[in-house]
């Protein structure tokens, strides 16, 4: 197994610029081949998937992508249909929009389409997702939760996401919605995992060799639970504060680099 085959993973924290410099979306387009890019947009997280899908297709086309198309998915049987799967052929990038990550997961997780997205990413195709589309990249996905800086036992609800990463738990609208508490809670509930909280109009580029870079206007907060020493999350009931020790927190701005041990996550991404 070559640990270095996995494609770029690019969670975006939502509300990225679509009318001005488009820094984040332009970056993704470049990783997908620029004017040679063939992008598939999956807008199924959204309750307004037709409009949202059209909007992203127009933005990528206007920036010069060679081909852009939308997959509209209304039920799980469609996600298992050969017709839909065939439309991923030739894609040089996949983009998942915002909305509700649990809706996206309910339609895609453990279907042929969900597996195809995971395998294409593992084979080298870049995948970006914004807001709900970012959360859904995780195997252990934050489905929803409460705002707040402090962790508490009940402030986060977990579910299975698409599993593009086995070991990162991705959160979004991070500073804007005050989500440090829920991401810390998610890490305390999943010892050994690493939380990635991405601000609005900001992306975290996770490359195949473990090199990561922050792009855009805001920050990315890393909540690293790999050296978790202690948590009393089992005894701190309901919304009482939870104690944690040994969690390493980093706040990174645009241009900052971060090295993930490829053995930690990318190996699993490819091997799975």
Determine, following the binding rule CB under 8 A, whether residue 109 of this chain makes contact with a copy of itself: yes
- Contact between residue 270 and residue 6 where contact means Cβ atoms under 8 Å apart: yes
Q: How far apart are CA 11 and CA 172, in angstroms?
A: 8
- Span of 58-66, 84-92, 102-110, 197-205 interacting with a copy of itself by CB under 8 A: 102-110
Nearest Cα residue to 61 out of 32, 83, 90: 32
The catalytic residue among 38, 152, 173, 175 is 173
Q: Which of residues 66-85 bind a copy of itself (CB under 8 A)?
A: 75-77
Contacts of 61 (CB under 8 A, 6+ apart): 68
Determine, following the binding rule CB under 8 A, whether residue 48 of this chain makes contact with a copy of itself: no
- Span of 15-23, 157-165, 198-206, 210-218 interacting with a copy of itself by CB under 8 A: 157-165
Give the contact letters, 136-155, x = binds to a copy of itself (CB under 8 A), - = no. Answer: ----x--x---------xx-
Site of tokens 């807008």: 43
Q: How far apart are CA 136 and CA 198, in angstroms?
A: 13
3-class DSSP state of 93: strand
Determine, following the binding rule CB under 8 A, whether residue 165 of this chain makes contact with a copy of itself: no
Q: Which of residues 175-234 bind a copy of itself (CB under 8 A)?
A: 188-193, 225-226, 228-234
Least Å distance between CB 225 and a copy of itself?
8
3-class DSSP state of 114: helix
Q: Is 106 annotated in the active site?
A: no
Determine, following the binding rule CB under 8 A, whether residue 3 of this chain makes contact with a copy of itself: no
The catalytic residue among 38, 200, 205, 213 is 200
Q: Tell me which of 235, 239, 250, 263 binds a copy of itself, using CB under 8 A.
A: 235
Determine, following the binding rule CB under 8 A, whether residue 241 of this chain makes contact with a copy of itself: no
Q: Is 173 annotated in the active site?
A: yes
| 122-152 exposure pattern, b = at least 16 Cβ within 10 A, e = fewer | beebbbbbbbbbbbbbbbbbbbebbebeebb
Q: Is 67 annotated in the active site?
A: no
Total chain residues near a copy of itself (CB under 8 A)? 36
- Contact between residue 200 and residue 226 where contact means Cβ atoms under 8 Å apart: no
**54 vs 268 by CB, closer to a copy of itself:** 268
Least Å distance between CB 138 and a copy of itself?
12
- Contact between residue 134 and residue 11 where contact means Cβ atoms under 8 Å apart: yes
| 198-219 exposure pattern, b = at least 16 Cβ within 10 A, e = fewer | bbbbbbbbbbbebebbbbbbbb
Determine, following the binding rule CB under 8 A, whether residue 159 of this chain makes contact with a copy of itself: yes
Q: How far apart are CA 48 and CA 26, in angstroms?
A: 24
Catalytic residue IDs = 131, 173, 200
**Which positions lie near a copy of itself, rule CB under 8 A?**
75-77, 100, 102-103, 105-106, 109-111, 140, 143, 153-154, 157-160, 188-193, 225-226, 228-235, 271
């Amino acid at each position: 197994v070559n640990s270095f085959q996995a494609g770029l993973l690019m969670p975006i924290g939502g509300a990225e610029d679509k009318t001005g410099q488009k820094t984040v979306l332009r970056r993704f387009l470049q990783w997908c081949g620029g004017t040679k890019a063939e992008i598939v947009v999956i807008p199924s997280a959204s309750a307004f998937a037709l409009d949202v899908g059209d909007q992203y297709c127009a933005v990528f086309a206007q920036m010069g992508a060679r081909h852009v198309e939308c997959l509209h998915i209304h039920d799980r049987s469609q996600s298992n249909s050969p017709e839909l799967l065939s439309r991923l052929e030739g894609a040089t990038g996949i983009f998942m929009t915002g909305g509700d990550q649990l809706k996206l997961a309910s339609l895609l997780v453990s279907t042929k389409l969900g597996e195809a997205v995971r395998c294409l990413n593992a084979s080298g195709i870049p995948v970006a997702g914004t807001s709900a589309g970012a959360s859904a990249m995780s195997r252990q996905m934050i489905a929803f939760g409460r705002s707040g800086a402090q962790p508490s036992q009940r402030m986060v609800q977990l579910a299975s996401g698409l599993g593009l990463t086995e070991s990162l738990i991705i959160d979004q609208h991070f500073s804007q919605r005050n989500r440090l508490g829920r991401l810390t809670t998610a890490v305390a509930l999943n010892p050994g995992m690493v939380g990635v909280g991405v601000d609005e109009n900001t992306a975290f580029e996770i490359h195949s060799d473990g090199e990561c870079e922050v792009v855009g206007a805001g920050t990315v907060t890393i909540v690293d639970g790999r050296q978790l020493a202690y948590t009393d999350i089992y005894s701190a009931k309901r919304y009482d504060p939870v104690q944690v020790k040994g969690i390493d927190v980093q706040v990174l701005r645009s241009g900052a680099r971060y090295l993930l041990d490829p053995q930690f996550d990318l190996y699993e991404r490819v091997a799975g």
